[in-house]
């Protein structure tokens, strides 16, 4: 039986937790109003949209992948939920877009032309003053690749093939945690 692995990182402790779910039961864990047991708080606000009493800007997500159909799938998924999506198709273009667009979240592939995702992540983490959360979305699922991603500072590691709704769930959680982190909390819960 095949299983999908989801890797999560905690900024507070620097620890990685591995969640393995059989593909046949993958959607059952994240459906309905309740949340998976590893989540400490409910998602009350879609990250790109605001509650009626709040005036919040759209959250901007940079999607970086050399496969245009993957970029389009992620873009449509996020835009339907109110996110603003900017795309790049290689590592060098991604760094330019990070500087010009200042995204709130980056969805990053590893295997790309001109500069791979690990090199992009290393450049991003070289400037601690400008922290941008990164979800690594890649076909590289070997333990050494995952370990290298954690070492480089990734916030969430998802492997392809992936469920777009699962990516959306992690994007919401990370962005809601970043909001709380900037308001004084010392960590975010995935």
Greatest Cα-to-Cα distance within the chain, rounded to the nearest angstrom: 47
Helix (H) or strand (E) holding 156: strand 156-159
Give the three-state DSSP class for 106: strand
Place of tokens 């993958």: 26
Q: Among the ranges 84-93, 138-147, 177-186, which has the highest mean pLDDT value?
A: 84-93
State residue 157's pLDDT score.
94
Q: Which residues contact 68 (CB under 8 A, 6 or more apart)?
A: 89
Closest CA to 64 of 14, 23, 123: 123
The token duo for 150 is: 């954690």
- Distance in angstroms (rounded) separating the CA atoms of residues 181 and 4: 29
Q: Is the N-terminal amide bond of 14 cis, ω within 30° of 0?
A: no
Question: Taking residues 128-148, what's their average pLDDT?
Answer: 91
* pTM of the shown model: 0.68
* Section 72-92 average pLDDT: 96
User: What domains can you pick out in the chain, each with its CATH number?
Assistant: 3-10+57-178 (3.40.50.2300)
pLDDT-derived band at 62, boundaries 50, 70, 90: very high
3-state DSSP: the chain helix, strand, coil percent, rounded to 5?
35, 20, 45
167-185 residue pLDDT tens: 999 999 999 876 554 555 4
Q: Each residue of 25-43: pLDDT tens digit?
A: 344 344 444 333 333 334 4
């Amino acid at each position: 039986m095949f299983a999908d692995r989801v890797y999560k990182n905690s900024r507070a402790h620097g620890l990685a937790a591995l969640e393995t779910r059989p593909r046949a039961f993958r959607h059952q864990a994240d459906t309905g109003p309740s949340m998976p047991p590893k989540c400490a708080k409910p998602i009350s606000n879609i990250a790109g949209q605001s509650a009626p009493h709040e005036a919040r800007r759209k959250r901007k997500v940079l999607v970086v992948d050399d496969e245009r159909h993957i970029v389009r799938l992620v873009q449509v998924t996020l835009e339907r939920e109110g996110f603003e999506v900017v795309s790049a198709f290689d590592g060098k273009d991604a760094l330019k877009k990070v500087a010009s667009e200042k995204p709130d979240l980056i969805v990053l592939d590893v295997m790309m032309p001109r500069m791979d995702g690990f090199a992009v992540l290393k450049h991003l983490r070289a400037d601690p003053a400008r922290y941008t959360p990164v979800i690594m979305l890649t076909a590289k699922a070997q333990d050494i690749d995952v370990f290298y991603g954690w070492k480089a500072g990734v916030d969430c590691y998802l492997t392809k093939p992936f469920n777009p709704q699962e990516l959306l769930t992690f994007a919401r959680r990370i962005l809601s945690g970043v909001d709380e982190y900037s308001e004084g909390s010392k960590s975010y819960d995935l």
